[in-house]
Amino acid sequence: MANRIDTSAIKKLKLLFTVVDRPKAEFYQDFISQYEVNFQMILNGLGTANSDLVDMLGLNIHKAVILSVVREDLVDTIMNALEDKFVTIKKGKGVSFAVPLSSVIGVNLYQFLSNNRLKRGEQL
């Protein structure tokens, strides 16, 4: 009999984008990491408003984009927690959204990203 894949053990993954002011990037990265997130990356971003508008409104156009690979079952929890932080942290406004990942190459990489490591002798 051929090896069968136990689909009940497979957890879908999403890529969570979180855009915040650069000085708050590490705070939010640490905050997200408490939700079993094993991979995150911070990229520098720049707002799109022109300089006259930025000066008039006193906006900070230097942004950070945090990319986090999260399990689909945790996305709503993380986004709700982020929404609460965006409201309660001084100058901590931000935006977050998630997109599904359709595939990952390699069982070990998937297990790392999903925080779903198999016990010795188990097969996916």
Closest CA to 13 of 44, 35, 42: 35
Fold exhibited by the domain 10-114: Alpha-Beta Plaits (3.30.70)
Reply yes or no on whether the pLDDT at 6 is more than 80: no
The DSSP result for 7-58, as a single string, is GGG---EEEEEEEEEGGGHHHHHHHHHTTT--EEEEEEEE--S-HHHHHHHT
**pTM of this structure:** 0.77
Is residue 21's pLDDT more than 70? Answer: yes
To the nearest 10°, report the CA torsion of 37, 17, 93, 23: 70
Does the pLDDT of residue 1 top 50, yes or no?
A: no
Distance, CA of 81 to CA of 70 (rounded, Å): 14
Interval 65-102: pLDDT, tens: 999 999 999 999 999 999 999 999 888 889 999 999 98
